[in-house]
Structure 1
Amino acid sequence: MVRNTLHTRLTKTKYLQARNSFMRLNHHSREEEEGIAPREWYEAAFSKMKKWSQSLKDLDLIGGRLVNINDHSRIFDEKLEKKMHTFKSIGRELILLPSMQETLKNNLMDSLADQRYKELEYFCRPHERDVLTVSSLTKVADMLSISAQQRKVVRKNIGPQVTQHKIWTGALFQILNGLKSEVELLNQRGSSKEIRLSQQILAGCLKILESAMSYDVESSSWMRLPPTKGVDATHSPKWGDALEMCIDLVSCLSDESELTFHVSKLELMKEGLFQIRDILIDKSIGYKENRYQEHLVQKRLTKTLGHSSKCLFTLLMYYLYGTIVDVELEVRGGVHVVGIGQKVCLYAGKILTADEEEVVRSGVKQLDTAMGLFKFVWESAGVKGDLEVQGHLWCVGAQNRSFTYRGNVYMVHAMNL
């Protein structure tokens, strides 16, 4: 009884949040907002979703940012971004409707041969329909119920892989280069003292980083002998120089809301920079000595970046996918233990704007990235049993179907009342 009451309260809270967001966007009066019946709200919200579907079909939220899925360009439009968030929020509320649950069950029955799956409930608990932004290994481990001992195994297994010098410099370069592009766009719209200063800092920081990322095989420094004993190396560039520049960049750009993503990423990379601040990045010190300094970077980062470190997680994402964008599950889902065997099923979902090939493909790729991350951590932990994953995608006017992508099952569900 207590559990049912709690479920009702949580569901009502989620409904009110989505409803209020919908109402604010459409400027309804207080009387209309307070007097509307739940059924009327669902009908109005569903109608609005159908209307918005076409205007939003080329856009999506990727890593929390509004992006054009055709060319992956960033869209700076606050009103449009709010509309997209509301669209997704309404979709998450509609999932619990009896008609939607029936559609999901029918698709499961048509798609999966294993009878045991048909008795399971999907997305019925309130937290299963929440958004989950995965920004650390801890969040992955929590969702998979990985034990404390297994988390130590994960960190031990992936640490040396993701802290390689080329992974560290590649991730940092992607953050700085992305920030540079967005700062240039801001500068075109109107320059400020902070923006001009940040451009100078970025140029200096990228110059140092580029020298740390590649060798010039034509230069004599490639096989140059180490400096003789007694040579003063105190003026050689160190990672501490890059750390100081990054601190100044964060300070300059912290108030620029359009740069929040890259600035926040740079902020968390300071954790790693601080740990290696005394290590040289000067190519002129000689090939062997330089390789030793690179080894120190890997060794220091492996030792100091903990399981919950967001810096470590960013390196993992770059290692796996060549990106520094966090994984975001629009519909969190959960985990089912299937039967009494060792089979574990992870399921999560996404709200699509249109049932068109490019939109579905983009949604599947985003879910597949998340699923691949979870499977990698599962396997790194040495957990017994197979982890099967299911991706669920909802769309107004969609054709119910299922397909396999990279070995995982994905189902498209039609949204209806």
Structure 2
Amino acid sequence: MRTTCSMECRGKVKCLIRADAAFRVLAGGGLRGIHFVPGPTGGEEEEENAPPPSRRWYRAAYARMVRLAGSESGGGGGPRQAATGSVGAEARVVDRMAEFDELAARFAAWQRAAPPLKATSLSSLTLVCDVLGVSAQLRKSVRLTICPQVTQHHIWRGALEEVLRDLRADMAALGHPSAAAQMAEQIAAACFRFLSDTADAATSSSPSWMRPTPFNKPAEPPPPSKTWQEVLDMFTDLAKSLEADARLAGHAHKVSAMKEGLYQIRNVVVERDIAFKEARRQDCLVQKKLSKSLGHSSKCLYTLLLFYLYGTVRDVEVHAGKHLSGKGGKNVTVHAAMFLTDGDEPAIRSAVKQLSRALGVFRFVWEAAHADSGDHASDSGKGAMAKKGHGDDAKGLLKLQGHIWGLGVEEKQVAYRGDVFHVHQIQLP
């Protein structure tokens, strides 16, 4: 999933003239350039205790980043295009971008004295809480607060359909689909039709809740009710097909995550063309079973949260770091950053949207962690938690900062959905 998530904040390199000129100067006009020695590769403690890199190291690292950015452009496009090619080409792009991000993170720490920024895939509540430093006791509060909101039937059904919609969109972009991908497409299409057929019929003269139960029973016994077990069976086969094609492995993880919830409600009726009371009972049963069974570390629960907040199911990938302050380190400042090889406006706007989602998840989980325990059962809206909770002195303060770093970008600030994002140019010391 890393490739499909990071592709939204990367584009083709169009304006690297300044960076390319700097590279040529550093290389002395030749083609070999400065010999580049990577930084420390040990654990976090070794990296923090290592002496700061020399000026020469930064110059060599800068030249290396320019070459990495140029290789992405020269390969015919960014990660989105690579995903449609061979598995080997995709892996090479991912490796190059990971190296670019690692080097850019060091420049960010040097230029802005930011805390160490680590590549973080926000794919579960546990990972989000790790960044925020939420204690084990408060993580239970997070789950109890979020579950009643995100396990509502329309959220559950919408998330399932979005997983399938996302998958089919990426499979349609595959240049040469494998036999496994073709099978996955057929299963996904059948599953999508099943969900559509069991939804409220749009062509009906009246909605299902207005149709009373027939007084006279039919002469023949009614067909067996459709249950979520049928969807679970299709998702099981779908996951196997996706796992056979490495290009779709990220989608296989997401399909497998949703299987966790499907297993818990496999005996619940799916059909919507039933009387209102029965439909409502089935909806409540879905919410009850999911709320009880999905644990804090569940990727299924986190997928529902993403759909609840943003209508998307793709995990967010950022570089994140935190700084603690105040008495007992209760105040937390989270730095979330993304690194661009391209400085054009579409790439910056895409990065801003990705960072906005990351900051929104951090803010939502922080408020959930500090919500009053007595209000968990009554939470039913996104804004409910912002008005509850203990005072700032009791729970501490959360400050969120979004930063975008790139080669050749214009230094500026971008306002988006109530947050201000800082755009920085990666510069030589």
Could you state the TM-score of these two structures normalised by the residue count of structure 2? 0.72
What is residue 225 of structure 1 aligned with on the other side?
212
Assess, with a 3 A threshold, how the Cα gap between structure 1 residues 101 and 174 changes in structure 2: closer, same or farther: closer
Unpaired runs of 5+ residues, structure 1, are 16-36, 60-65, 105-120
Read off the aligned partner of 1:122 and give its amino acid letter. A
For residue 167 of structure 1, report the CA deviation from its aligned partner: 0.7
RMSD of aligned alpha carbons: 3.5
User: Residue 169 of structure 1 contacts residue 213 of structure 1 at CA under 8 Å; is this kept in 2?
Assistant: no
The structure-2 alpha-carbon separation of the partners of 1:181 and 1:216, relative to structure 1 and needing over 3 Å to count, comes to same
| Residue among 152, 157, 170 paired with 2:140 | 152
Provide closer, same or farther for how the CA distance between residues 58 and 377 of structure 1 changes in structure 2, counting only shifts above 3 A.
Answer: farther
Contact 1:238 1:278 in 2 (8 A): yes
Do residues 410 (structure 1) and 398 (structure 2) align? no
Sort the Cα spacing of 1:56 and 1:279 in 2 relative to 1 into closer, same or farther, 3 A: same
Does the 8 Å CA contact 2:181/2:245 hold for their aligned counterparts? no
Specify the alignment match of 2:314 in structure 1.
325
Aligned residue pairs: how many?
356
1:86 aligns with 2:96: yes
Given residue 264 of structure 2, which amino acid in structure 1 is its aligned partner? Q
Deviations along 1:296-322, one digit per CA (max 9) or x if unpaired, are 111111111111100000000000010
Taking the aligned partners of 1:143 and 1:190, their CA distance within structure 2 comes to 38
Distance 1:323 1:243, change over 3 A: same
2:226 is paired with a residue whose SS is coil
The alignment status of 1:291 with 2:280, answered yes or no, reads: yes
1:216 and 2:224 are equivalent in the alignment = no
Q: 2:21 corresponds to which residue?
A: none
What letter is aligned with 1:224?
R
Q: Per the alignment, do residues 290 and 81 of structure 1 end up closer, same or farther by CA in structure 2, a change over 3 Å counting?
A: same
- Deviation digits for residues 321-351 of structure 1 (CA, Å, limit 9, x no counterpart): 100101111x222233258896431112111
Q: CA 1:380–1:58 in structure 2 vs 1: closer, same or farther (change >3 Å)?
A: farther
Is the contact between residue 320 and residue 334 of structure 2 (CA under 8 Å) also seen in structure 1? no
Change in Cα spacing, 1:130 to 1:82, as seen in structure 2 (3 Å) is: farther
Find the residue that maps to 1:398 and give its secondary structure. coil
1:373 and 2:361 correspond:
yes
- After superposition, the C-alpha distances for 1:343-365 in whole angstroms (9 at most, x for unaligned) are 43111211112222222111111
Task: Give the match's secondary structure for 2:273.
Answer: helix
Distance 1:234 1:350, change over 3 A: same
The CA distance in 2 between the partners of 1:170 and 1:250, in whole Å, is 19
Counterpart in the other structure of 2:269: 280
Is 1:400 aligned with 2:411?
A: yes
Q: What are the superposed Cα offsets for residues 112-155 of structure 1, whole Å, 9 maximum, x if unpaired?
A: xxxxxxxxx413xxxx3321111111111122121222211111
2 CA distance for matches of 1:264 and 1:297? 22
The structure whose RCO (Cα within 8 Å, separation 6+) is larger is: 2
Question: What is the alpha-carbon distance in structure 2 between the residues aligned to residue 204 and residue 344 of structure 1?
Answer: 47
Distance in 2 separating the partners of 1:47 and 1:195:
36
Letter in 2 for 1:133: S
Q: Which amino acid aligns with 1:385?
A: G
Task: Give the alignment partner of residue 269 of structure 1, picking from 250, 258, 262.
Answer: 258
Q: Matches of 1:11 and 1:132 in 2, distance apart?
A: 18
> Given the alignment of the two structures, is residue 48 of structure 1 paired with residue 48 of structure 2, yes or no?
no
Note the C-alpha offset of 1:206: 1.6
Note if contact 2:228-2:267 (Cα within 8 Å) is conserved in structure 1: yes
- The percent identity for this pair of structures is 35
Note the C-alpha offset of 1:275: 0.5
Q: Distance in 2 between matches of 1:184 and 1:206?
A: 15
What residue is the counterpart of 2:111 in the other structure?
103
Alpha-carbon distance between aligned partners in 2 of 1:40 and 1:146, rounded to the nearest angstrom: 38
* Residue in structure 2 matching 1:207, options 172, 177, 193: 193
Task: Summarize the alignment of residues 242-261 of structure 1 with structure 2, pairs less than 5 Å apart.
Answer: 242-261=231-250
Partner of 1:116: none
1:137 to 101, 121, 125: 125
Corresponding residue SS for 1:210: helix
Larger deviation, residues 237-246 vs 176-185:
176-185
What is the aligned partner in structure 2 of residue 67 from structure 1? 80
- Which residue is 1:314 aligned to? 303
- CA 1:402–1:302 in structure 2 vs 1: closer, same or farther (change >3 Å)? same
Is this contact kept in 2: 1:279–1:296, CA < 8 A?
A: yes
Q: Aligned AA for 1:166?
A: H
Provide closer, same or farther for how the CA distance between residues 344 and 175 of structure 1 changes in structure 2, counting only shifts above 3 A.
same
User: Hey, what's the Cα distance between the residues in 1 that align with 2:414 and 2:365?
Assistant: 24
Deviation at 1:7, TM superposition (A): 6.1
* Separation (CA, whole Å) in 1 of partners of 2:426 and 2:257: 39
Given that 1:226 and 1:289 are in contact with CA atoms closer than 8 Å, whether structure 2 keeps it comes out as no
- Are 1:239 and 2:239 counterparts? no
CA distance in 2, matches of 1:55, 1:268: 36
Give the secondary structure class of the aligned counterpart of 1:96: helix
Write out aligned runs for 1:166-181 (5 A).
Answer: 166-181=154-169
2:314 is equivalent to residue 354 of structure 1: no
> Partner residue of 2:377?
none
Counterpart residue number, 2:114: 122
